[in-house]
Amino acid sequence: MELNKNNIEEFKEDETGAQTSSETLKPKKKRKKISKTAIIILLVCLIVFICSSAVVIRNYIKRHENIEMNTNLESVFNEDIKNKEENQGNEDSNMPLSFDEMLKINPGFVGWIKVPNTSISLPVVKYSDNSFYLTHNFYKKYDYRGTVFMDYRNDPVDLDANTIIYGHNCYDGTMFSELEKFQDIEFYKKTPVIEFSTANGKEKWKVYAVFVSNAKASEDNGYVFNYIYPYMDGENFEGFIEEVNKRRLYATDVDITDDDNMLILSTCIRKLDIYSKGKRTYKADTRLVVLTRKLRPGESEYVNTENVKANPSPKYPQIWYDKNGIKNPYAADEKWYPKEISQ
């Protein structure tokens, strides 16, 4: 092979004596150093990811623990009913019930609430105030999901004119989350009757109205509609129902009178929260309310759901009109309050 300048330039020896291409002898490019700022940002993102994942996993576990707990309690409740039926020798739906096993677990147990076409099948308890069960489960242990509970002023046996049951909306299908479905007329058509069993028996309740209300006076021109007053009979009934009829999202075929027992299911709702550029700028303290009335003696459970009609202009708290840039047609309404009735 004839050597020339080009050949000499092409082949050289490295320190070990191995022939090496001149291309490989060129100085290697220096690797770019990662700045401290970039490392810090990376670490922060990693920590946020780990924490977020931990929260998601924790909520997933807590959700399933809650479902499992209530499923087990339902088995105990059903066993109580089965024992009562066997002792009575019949399955009369109107017979009084005893909750021996449930009361052993929690003496504050007052009944069982069940809403068809949802996962709501839950124990109802009562305490000396309306705050304890906001943060405690059926076993009286701390739990941010709380327990579905009856207003402390209500009589769980001799039911008042208006019995109120509260439950958290956890937005994950647990507790009272699925009450939100009642905003949809089509869901109501499938679910016009719910069940609330007490010591009086397995009792059915027809849904009369569904509406949205506020818990802060500042969200409705200094006014809070007091739908949680237990004594809505007598002088209070007419004014209360008049207010409900303005607010209900749709009119049902169910009638209601002063002689009826009402049952209200109340939970929070994010419908009136205010957002700007995709971010929530105001968290409203608002409630979704499902008002039902007890099935009358001898009355059929049947409800003609084909007669349901949407309310073209339901009465909302002022914050809803502000949020949507709409003039409030009810702004000049007189503020209604229940009259005190000595009990």
291 part of a folded domain: yes
329 part of a folded domain: no
10 part of a folded domain: no
Task: Write out the residue range of the structural domain in which residue 283 sits.
Answer: 46-324
339 part of a folded domain: no
Res 89: pLDDT: 55
13 part of a folded domain: no
Res 3: pLDDT: 47
Is the per-residue pLDDT at 91 higher than 80? no
pTM metric for this prediction: 0.81
Q: What is the mean pLDDT of the chain?
A: 87
Res 343: pLDDT: 41
Residues with Cβ within 8 Å of 294's Cβ and at least 6 positions away in sequence, in order, are: 159, 203, 204, 205, 260, 261, 262, 263
- Tell me the pLDDT tens digit for each residue of 152-191: 999 999 999 999 999 999 988 899 999 999 999 999 999 9
Q: Indicate the burial class of 313 (C-beta count within 10 angstroms; 0-12, 13-18, 19 or more).
A: exposed
Q: Does residue 200 or residue 59 have the better pLDDT?
A: 200
- Of the candidates 188, 214, 208, 335, the residue with the CA atom closest to the CA atom of residue 271: 214
Chain centre distance of CA 315: 22
- Of the candidates 129, 77, 83, 134, the residue with the CA atom closest to the CA atom of residue 106: 77
Give the C-alpha separation, 109 to 116, whole Å. Answer: 21
Q: Fill in the amino acid letter for 28.
A: K
Q: Which tokens go with 257?
A: 């009178």
Do the beta carbons of residue 214 and residue 286 sit within 8 Å?
Answer: yes
The DSSP-derived string for 123-163 is: EEEE-SSSSGGGSB-TTS-B-TT---EE-TTS-SSS--SEE
Give the C-alpha separation, 337 to 343, whole Å. Answer: 18
Do the beta carbons of residue 267 and residue 287 sit within 8 Å?
Answer: yes
114 part of a folded domain: yes
Q: Fill in the amino acid letter for 235.
A: E
Q: What is the DSSP letter of 260?
A: S
CATH number for position 192: 2.40.260.10
Is the per-residue pLDDT at 17 higher than 50? no
The DSSP-derived string for 206-240 is: EEEEEEEEES-GGGTTT----TT-S--STHHHHHH
Res 85: pLDDT: 63
3-state secondary structure 67-92: HHHHHHHHHHHHHHHHHHHHHHCCCC
Res 80: pLDDT: 78
Res 41: pLDDT: 82
Q: Does residue 2 or residue 41 have the better pLDDT?
A: 41
Give the C-alpha separation, 281 to 275, whole Å. Answer: 5
Q: Which tokens go with 21?
A: 């291409």
Strand, coil or helix: what is 339?
A: coil
Which alpha helices (DSSP H) does 106-223 contain, by range? Answer: 185-190
Give the C-alpha separation, 223 to 183, whole Å. Answer: 23
Give the C-alpha separation, 138 to 341, whole Å. Answer: 32
74 part of a folded domain: yes
Domain count for the chain = 1
Is the per-residue pLDDT at 42 higher than 90? no
55 part of a folded domain: yes
Give the C-alpha separation, 115 to 138, whole Å. Answer: 19
Do the beta carbons of residue 38 and residue 32 sit within 8 Å?
Answer: no
- Of the candidates 112, 108, 117, the residue with the CA atom closest to the CA atom of residue 76: 112
